[in-house]
Amino acid sequence: MILVKVGVLALQGDVREHAAVLEASGAQAVAVRRPSELAGVDGLVIPGGESTTIDKLTRIFELDVPLKERIAEGMPVYGSCAGMIMLADEIADPAKDLAGNPQQTLGGLDITVRRNAFGRQRESFETDLRFRGLEFSAPEAGAEAPAVHAVFIRAPWVERVGSSVQVLAQVEPSEASHTQTLHGAARIVAVRSRHLLATSFHPEVTGERRIHELFIRMIRGEA
């Protein structure tokens, strides 16, 4: 089997955790901080962290244009939490700098996200999710894949999906730790559109490898 080289955008966030899961899942993980490093990878993970900081640093390190170009060319990208925000075409509540300019994204996913939608740090929670696309991990052919244990830390959710976007997982009101904020509606927390994958939770912190394995399969053209 061909070894795929997966970059982890190493400007800010939980870079080492993603790299460790990628390596454990059979990929070669490399840190990406400059355009020359981006040019050598088969796919890219944008980790969780502060979306506003990642946005600013991609421009400071002159990675924003190369990233947008490679996304447009079809490079597979997986964004978790802040990474989901960076891949969204639209932010419902963008942060603004001192001059009043809204934060920017790389785009590519026809979705609208809301930052910190589930609440602040003290309202973080864990739950089990049904996650589409993980059939390869089912105990036997035709069986349902085991649930994904998901950790939500200052997590966004998806408020709108375009026609090209597939919803992979949702959180029901009863599954969140502070259900009064959900107003009885399920919230979208994982999506895919062709070569782009995004989750609002952090699989890299729970030992859950299947999201990264799905992403590696996407890079290989197997999913």
Q: Which residues are catalytic?
A: 81, 202, 204
- Dihedral angle, C-alpha 156, 157, 163, 165, nearest 10 °: 70
CB atoms within 10 A of CB 105: 24
d(CA 62, CA 32) in angstroms, rounded, equals 12
CB 109 within 8 A of CB 196: yes
Residue with token string 């920017």 = 104
CA 79, chain centre distance (Å): 2
CA 210, chain centre distance (Å): 13
CB 211 within 8 A of CB 199: yes
d(CA 182, CA 189) in angstroms, rounded, equals 13
Residue 120 backbone phi and psi in degrees, to 5: -85, -170
d(CA 134, CA 137) in angstroms, rounded, equals 6
d(CA 125, CA 150) in angstroms, rounded, equals 8
